Amino acid sequence: METLFLVTGALVFISGCLIAGLASRLASRLIEEINERSSADQQVDTLRVTESILRRHQQLFPDSPTRRRKNIAALVGVLMMIAGIGLLLDYSSLHDLNRNQVIAPRQQTVTGSLTAGPVGRNSYRYTFTVGDTEYSEWGSPEAAGLKVGQQVVVYYDPQNPAVNALVRFEYSPGRRARDIGLGLMVILFVAMLGFVSILFATKPRRMPRVTGQ
């Protein structure tokens, strides 16, 4: 399941970037349409679409499909990039849970020491020794306010001590079910977003009603 979220997340994020690029191209097209209709506006050298340009385009083209598609593409592009990042984070969480499910029953502890930090969100570099081999990693302990040189408990996989952490390897079936549910909801949201955006982007222009004299 996590592989589905990884692949889908990457595709959704890339698609969002491409759609955002399309929105930028459509924004340039707005300026071109203004120049074609009213060269006196002199928008040709404008590098970005400002609010005044949008208002002028609204005046010249009240029912412009280009403007509508630009707005849709900009919104959909941002939402898809956010959804893609969400799926990738969901994949990372599921990947860690699957790893913990295997390691949790056999994990062991050893005393290590902090050698650097903190960096970012309470991240420290720590070292510990198993057998004749010394290992060094970065991790975030549960406790805050630790100091370099302080001893800490390191949890590691006895079959592969390179897999280690400053917190216990724990597996939660409930958390796995929640992550899968959230990932599927995001995929459903992206599918609905794509359908609705295509529906509005291809919506035919509403023709004015002709009344008899």
Burial class (CB in 10 A: 0-12, 13-18, 19+), 179: buried
Quick one: pLDDT at residue 32?
76
- Domain 108-165: CATH class, spelled out: mainly beta
C-alpha span between 118 and 138 (Å, rounded) = 10
> Is the bond preceding 118 in cis, omega lying within 30 degrees of 0?
yes
Kindly write down the DSSP assignment for every residue of 28-84, as one continuous string: HHHHHHHHHH-GGG--TT-SS--HHHHHHHHHH-TT-HHHHHHHHHHHHHHHHHHHH
Radius of gyration of the chain (CA): 27
Quick one: pLDDT at residue 100?
95
Report the length, in residues, of the chain: 213
Quick one: pLDDT at residue 138?
95
Quick one: pLDDT at residue 210?
46
The full set of domain ranges for the chain reads 2-101+172-201, 108-165
The single-letter code of the amino acid at 154 is: V
Provide block-wise average pLDDT over 10 residues at a time, the chain (213 residues).
91 94 84 72 59 74 80 91 95 94 96 91 93 94 88 96 95 93 94 88 61 46
Instruction: Give the pTM.
Output: 0.77
Quick one: pLDDT at residue 66?
80
